């Protein structure tokens, strides 16, 4: 499954007031692994940047005047991000700006480019209601190093968000396995050969230790609600003191 973790920086807070994208970055995650592929552009916004926005990301129009306009990089961005699921922190903000830029170019909106949008801010508010859920707060919560983030930057923030998303969703993939096993009678009637006996390999001591360390960390992140440990303790109470 392919995901694109996306972030933008802008001249201000509202595209309806004419504010524009000045930086956009996207990193690729496939099967829950960062692939190393990314795109990153600084963009000439063709207008001044609000002082408050510059305080956040450090970018000025003077520094961006020689950069390409959004129309110059739009096709490369769409080719990279198209068809994937997009992961964005506070997605409505970034999508409003991106859709405004695409509209200016008479290109399809983000809904026509991506397969789905996942808002990590909404996910974080569900998991941690009433707590700070900024990117910095989530990095601290999941022990993701972000000391280099003195200013907002689209590429750095996208990479940090990728790690945050993987930490937030660890163990939340589908836990159901659909296995269709033919009834013995039906197999016998069909003359099907019996399957060979299953070899059971006992795990090594270091494998058991690694598995227990993973469950312990998962239990910490889930605030003591790790199902596997709960079942283990229910079946083997002595483990609770071991």
Residues with active-site annotation = 152
What SS3 string covers 57-88? HCCCHHHHCCCCCHHHHHHHHHHHHCCCEEEE
Instruction: For residues 147 and 124, give the distance between their C-alpha atoms in angstroms, rounded to a whole number.
Output: 21
Got the DSSP string for the chain? -EEEEEEEEESSS-GGGT--EEEEEEEEEETTEEEEEEEEEE---SS---HHHHHHH---HHHHTTSPPHHHHHHHHHHHHTTSEEEETTHHHHHHHHHHHHHHTT---GGGT-SEEEEHHHHHHHHSTTS--SHHHHHHHTT---TT-SS--HHHHHHHHHHHHHHHTTT-S----------HHHHHHHTPPPPPPPP-PPPPHHHHHHHHHHHHHHHHHTTS--HHHHHHHHH-GGGGT-
Please give the radius of gyration of the chain, using alpha carbons only, rounded to the nearest integer.
Answer: 24
Residue length of the chain: 242
């Amino acid at each position: 499954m392919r995901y694109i973790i996306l972030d933008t920086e802008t001249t201000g807070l509202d595209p309806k007031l004419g504010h524009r994208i000045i930086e956009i970055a996207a990193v690729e995650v496939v099967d829950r692994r960062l692939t190393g592929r990314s795109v990153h552009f600084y963009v000439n916004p063709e207008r001044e940047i609000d002082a408050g926005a510059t305080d956040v990301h450090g970018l000025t129009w003077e520094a961006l005047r020689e950069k390409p306009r959004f129309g110059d990089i739009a096709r490369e961005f769409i080719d990279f991000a198209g068809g994937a699921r997009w992961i964005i922190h506070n997605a409505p903000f970034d999508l409003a700006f991106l859709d405004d830029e695409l509209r200016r170019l008479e290109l399809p909106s983000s809904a026509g480019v991506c397969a789905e949008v996942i808002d990590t801010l909404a996910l974080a508010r569900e998991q941690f209601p009433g707590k700070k859920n900024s990117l910095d707060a989530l990095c601290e919560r999941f022990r993701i190093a972000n000391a280099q983030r003195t200013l907002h930057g689209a590429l750095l923030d996208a990479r940090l968000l990728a790690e945050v998303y993987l930490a937030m969703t660890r163990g939340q993939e589908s836990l159901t396995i659909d296995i269709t096993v033919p009834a013995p009678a039906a197999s016998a009637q069909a003359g099907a050969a019996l399957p060979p006996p299953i070899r059971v390999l006992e795990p090594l001591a270091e494998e058991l230790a690694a598995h227990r360390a993973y469950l312990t960390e998962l239990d910490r992140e889930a605030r003591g609600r790790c199902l596997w440990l709960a079942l283990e303790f229910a079946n083997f109470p002595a483990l609770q003191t071991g």
